[in-house]
């Protein structure tokens, strides 16, 4: 694996998709841990305002913060770490491990940026590990706009409308997606079975730990620590 070449591709496109990065035997065990934790019909974690405004029906879980060590081996895998080194440079820091669970029949996630893009040098890195296969029939694909990490603020508008230059990613079991926090991205509605991904978020050296507290949606900026809308965003008429 040429880590430097892959890092250059990441910085060109704002994302990087690597299929079969982890063996099925590694992610199968983790997938079972996740599904036992959530069960068949878990309650939503966010409040009704967020669910309605953000059109983001996903339930987060932070297993390492609860002392669960099942998720550690993936995070310390040599190629996973070396590729992060190549993308973020020396002194980067892990942020947190967040499992994202979506029930069937839910909206997925509307267009957003994980952190404010006004300063291009200040951002997070999503390192998304897929422990089960996503298909077009089941829904829940990840959609990105290539190069949008260099295009600044996600424009205000309809939270779910398509962009002409969007790219649909359909990850299979064992796939890893590295995704820049400024890249415009969304998750399509989940139709068939529950959807799971695990995000090992990281950040460059010197980045504040609160980097992902305020998320940019097309209709608002939302602060998770206070569960509140901090800016209304309205498309020009």
Q: What CATH fold (topology level) applies to the domain 3-232?
A: Jelly Rolls (2.60.120)
Per-residue pLDDT of the chain (237 residues; tens, 9 = 90+): 899 999 999 999 999 999 999 999 899 999 999 999 887 666 655 556 666 665 777 888 999 999 989 999 999 999 999 999 999 999 999 999 999 998 888 888 999 999 999 999 999 999 999 999 999 988 999 999 999 999 999 999 888 889 999 999 999 999 999 999 999 999 999 987 889 999 999 999 999 999 999 999 998 999 988 888 888 888 776
Instruction: For residue 89, count other CB atoms closer than 10 A to its CB.
Output: 11
The pTM score is: 0.93
3-state secondary structure of 74: helix
The backbone region for 211, taken as left when phi is positive above 0, alpha when psi lies in -120 to 50, beta otherwise, is alpha
Segment 124-144, tens digit of pLDDT = 999 999 999 999 988 999 999
- What is d(CA 176, CA 171) in angstroms, rounded to the nearest whole number? 8
3-state secondary structure of 83: helix
- What is d(CA 86, CA 16) in angstroms, rounded to the nearest whole number? 13
24, exposed or middle or buried, with CB in 10 Å at 0-12, 13-18, 19+? middle
- What is d(CA 83, CA 90) in angstroms, rounded to the nearest whole number? 12
Segment 144-181, tens digit of pLDDT = 999 999 999 999 988 888 999 999 999 999 999 999 99
> What is the per-residue pLDDT for 41?
67
């Amino acid at each position: 694996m040429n880590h430097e070449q892959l890092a250059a591709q990441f910085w060109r496109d704002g994302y990087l998709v690597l299929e079969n990065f982890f063996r099925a035997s590694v992610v199968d065990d983790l997938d079972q841990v996740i599904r036992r934790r959530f069960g068949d019909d878990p309650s939503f974690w966010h409040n009704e305002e967020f669910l309605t405004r953000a059109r983001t029906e996903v339930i987060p879980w932070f297993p390492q913060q609860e002392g669960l060590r099942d998720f550690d081996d993936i995070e310390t895998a040599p190629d996973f770490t070396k590729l992060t080194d190549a993308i973020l440079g020396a002194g980067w820091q892990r942020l947190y491990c967040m499992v994202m669970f979506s029930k069937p029949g839910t909206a997925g996630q509307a267009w957003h940026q994980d952190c404010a893009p006004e300063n291009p040098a200040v951002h997070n890195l999503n390192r998304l590990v897929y422990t089960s296969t996503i298909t077009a029939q089941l829904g829940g694909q990840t959609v990105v706009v290539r190069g949008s990490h260099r295009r600044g603020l996600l424009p205000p508008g309809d939270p779910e409308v398509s962009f002409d230059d969007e790219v649909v990613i359909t990850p299979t079991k064992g796939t890893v997606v590295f995704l820049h926090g400024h890249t415009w991205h969304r998750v399509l509605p989940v139709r068939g079975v529950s959807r799971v991904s695990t995000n090992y978020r990281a950040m460059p050296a010197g980045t504040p730990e609160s980097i992902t507290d305020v998320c940019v949606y097309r209709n608002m900026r939302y602060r998770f620590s206070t569960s509140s809308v901090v800016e209304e965003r309205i498309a020009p008429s």
